[in-house]
Each structure stands twice: as C-alpha cells, then as structure tokens.
C-alpha cells in the first residue's frame, strides 16, 4: 500500500504525516514534528531550504509509530504568500474556461501572470442569484468603497459559474519543489493551507459556510469556506507564540486577539455581503498551535456569538491505537489534509 506524505512547513516547525488510503478511511503510518528556522516563508521564495530539507529527512526517518518511507509528498502555501479570489463567470465549457481564465485572473487579482503560477476550480455553491436591481445596487456600492486587500468579487448571476482561483509567484513554487527534491521527495502537488484544513476536518457533503481560523505561532489565517471549498482567504501578521504559556483568562485573551477578531469581521462581511449574499457563517473551526490555549473556544464564542470548535483531523484516520499527544492532535490538520488530497486525486 502506497503512503502519501503531508508536509506542513510552518512558522518555526515542520510537521509530517504519512497516510495510506483504505477506501473511505486512512491508516496512519507515521507522524512527527521538528523545529526549523523561523519565518522562512516569503512571497517569492522559501528560505533556509537546505536546513529545512535536512530536517524533513530526519523527521520522516524518526516518525512514529513507524518511519515514513514514501516519496510522494504534498506541500501547502500559507495565506500570507498567495493571491486568491472568488468570482462569477459566464457558463463555459472546459476548453473555453481554460482560455478565458488567465485574462480574468490578471484583472481580478491585479497580477502579472508571467510571474505567477495559478490554479482554479469551478465550485458548487448555495449562493443565491441576485436580481438586476440588487446587481445595480451592489455595483454602485462597490464603486464607492473599493477593498484594497482583496479582489472585488463578481456577484453571482443567473446562468453563471462560480470560480475560486489562487496564484503564487513562480519563484516561490519553484523553491518549494527544489526543497522537496533536496529532501529526496517527489512533489505530488502544492495546496493552500485553509484548503488542506477544510479537507481534514469537514465531512464531504457538508456544505455549511464556516470560518476557519488557523492560529499559528507567527501569523493567523482567517478563511471562509463553503463545505470544503474555499471562498475567501486572509491573514493577520500576528501569532500566538507569546500567549501559549501565559495562562491568560478569557477577557484578557479577547483583548490579545483583537486584530484576529477585526479581520474575522472583515472577511465575514466580505463573504456575506459580496461573495455570497444571502448566506451566513454558521460556525467557526479553530486550528493550529493556538488551539492549545486554555478556554480558546470560549474566547471565540463570546466574542463572535457563533458556535466554535477545534477541528478534529484524525476523525477519519485509523491510528491503530497510537497515542497521539493532545497538544499535537489539533495542530496536524494541515498535514493530514494534504495527505488526504493526494489520496483523493
């Protein structure tokens, strides 16, 4: 049975996991975590390649319960180094869409495609089509208040398809591939972190709109998904590293997380008012090292009023009674989702 490896290169650690596909469930072969040089992700390259590659080699070899011997590996890009957007396009067949999408991306994401690799998917959605009057009203409002951080989404009209697209610098992708080869791995693909998390913690067929908050050591990702499909991605240049051992109470934590809550409000309104009018966020899923902060669920529920929970990435993984440490069980969502993607492909 072939093993697929998920490799999550974070702010100061690398997490690896090997999964075997057994139909609707996966079997754990091995998992491990190790420190790496901090803040290696840049928009045009990943730094410290040699050091990280050597750490990956050692981490795979020393994984538990068994060493990970596979070669096919999936990697993920953090939200801070990508450009993404959700927009509507006329109904096109596959070939027509492939021809039209580069021009649409250059316009919507405001990028020079000669410098970027991109990918896209046509997504199913519960978004309600807007009437002509609503479209005109939204267009006038958009002209007055342009969002500098995100591409202005195209409202969903009748007889239109919804497309989610992501782009990253070619030099960045090439550096990730280079790192993989230095570690002796065959890069099977490169995902983005919120997509990997959604795949690991949300069941297929569950199409609820949710916010995924990835509480990393150096930064925090704030994304909106509809089912397992991404709609909005964003990042806050603030991480939880300094809070992990402080033992702060709920009210103190709410103050510390102010920037995260501000961004959560922003992406939620962006989704509910522009990307998908008529759809509301139903739940918050927390992931990352910040899930080890005591009372973190209460912090988010009290601040937002939304049901909040910590994502459970191992719900569909047979660990064969291997005792996964509690502090790690919720932080491997990215890596688990990466390994699951290749098995789904």
pLDDT for position 146: 47
Q: Residue written as tokens 């990307």?
A: 275
> Do residue 211 and residue 183 come from a single domain?
yes
Above 50 in pLDDT, residue 345? no
Token representation of residue 212: 């995924």
pLDDT tens readout for residues 231-263: 999 999 999 988 987 888 999 999 999 999 999
> Do residue 19 and residue 160 come from a single domain?
no
Residue 282: which residues within 8 A CB-CB, separation 6 or more?
208, 209, 210, 306, 307
> Do residue 305 and residue 204 come from a single domain?
yes
Above 80 in pLDDT, residue 132? no
Q: Does residue 47 or residue 320 have the better pLDDT?
A: 47
Above 90 in pLDDT, residue 87? no
Quote the domain boundaries for residue 33.
3-80+169-344
> Do residue 297 and residue 279 come from a single domain?
yes
Contact 42, 23 (CB under 8 A): no
> Do residue 278 and residue 233 come from a single domain?
yes
> Do residue 34 and residue 146 come from a single domain?
no
pLDDT tens readout for residues 229-239: 999 999 999 99
> Do residue 9 and residue 93 come from a single domain?
no
Domain closes at, from 147, 166, 185: 166
* pTM, two decimal places: 0.89
CA-CA distance, 105 to 165, in Å (whole number)?
8
Above 80 in pLDDT, residue 271? yes
> Do residue 295 and residue 155 come from a single domain?
no
Above 60 in pLDDT, residue 144? no
pLDDT for position 89: 87
Domain closes at, from 166, 186, 207: 166
pLDDT tens readout for residues 308-332: 999 999 999 999 889 998 878 889 9
Over residues 14-43, mean pLDDT? 95
Token representation of residue 199: 């795949």
> Do residue 60 and residue 95 come from a single domain?
no
Over residues 105-110, mean pLDDT? 90
Above 90 in pLDDT, residue 12? yes
pLDDT for position 176: 98
> Do residue 48 and residue 14 come from a single domain?
yes
pLDDT for position 155: 53
Q: Does residue 141 or residue 321 have the better pLDDT?
A: 321
Domain with residue 29: its CATH number is: 3.30.420.40
Report the domain count for the chain. 2
Over residues 273-295, mean pLDDT? 92
pLDDT for position 327: 79
Burial zone of 123 (CB within 10 Å; 0-12 exposed, 13-18 middle, 19+ buried): middle
Domain closes at, from 149, 166, 183: 166
């Amino acid at each position: 049975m072939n093993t697929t490896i998920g490799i999550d290169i974070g702010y100061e650690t690398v997490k690896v996991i090997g999964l075997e596909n057994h139909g609707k469930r996966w079997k754990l072969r091995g998992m491990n975590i190790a420190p790496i040089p901090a803040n290696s992700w840049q928009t045009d390259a990943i730094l410290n390649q040699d050091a990280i590659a050597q750490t990956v080699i050692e981490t795979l070899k020393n994984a538990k319960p068994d060493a990970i011997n596979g070669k096919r590996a999936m990697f993920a890009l953090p939200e801070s180094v990508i450009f993404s957007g959700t927009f509507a396009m006329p109904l096109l067949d596959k070939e027509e869409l492939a021809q039209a999408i580069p021009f649409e991306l250059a316009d919507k994401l405001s990028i020079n495609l000669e410098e970027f690799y991109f990918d896209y998917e046509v997504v199913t959605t519960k978004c309600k089509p807007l009437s002509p009057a609503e479209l005109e009203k939204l267009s006038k409002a958009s002209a007055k208040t342009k969002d500098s951080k995100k591409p202005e989404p195209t409202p969903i009209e009748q007889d239109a398809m919804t497309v989610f697209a992501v782009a990253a610098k070619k030099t960045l992708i090439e550096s990730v591939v280079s790192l993989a080869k230095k570690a002796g791995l065959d890069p099977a693909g490169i995902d983005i972190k919120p997509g990997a998390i959604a795949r690991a913690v949300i069941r297929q067929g569950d199409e609820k709109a949710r916010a995924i908050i990835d509480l990393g050591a150096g930064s925090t990702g704030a994304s909106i998904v509809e089912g397992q499909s991404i709609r909005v991605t964003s990042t806050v240049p603030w991480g939880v590293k300094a809070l992990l051992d402080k033992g702060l109470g709920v009210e103190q934590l709410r103050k510390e997380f102010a920037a995260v809550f501000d961004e959560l409000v922003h992406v939620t309104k962006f989704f509910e008012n522009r990307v998908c009018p008529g759809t509301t966020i139903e739940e918050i899923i927390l992931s990352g090292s910040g899930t080890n902060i005591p009372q973190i669920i209460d912090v988010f529920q009290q601040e937002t009023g939304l049901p909040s929970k910590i994502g459970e990435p191992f719900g569909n993984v047979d660990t064969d009674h291997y005792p996964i440490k509690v502090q790690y069980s919720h932080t491997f969502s990215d890596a688990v989702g990466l390994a699951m993607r290749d098995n789904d492909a």
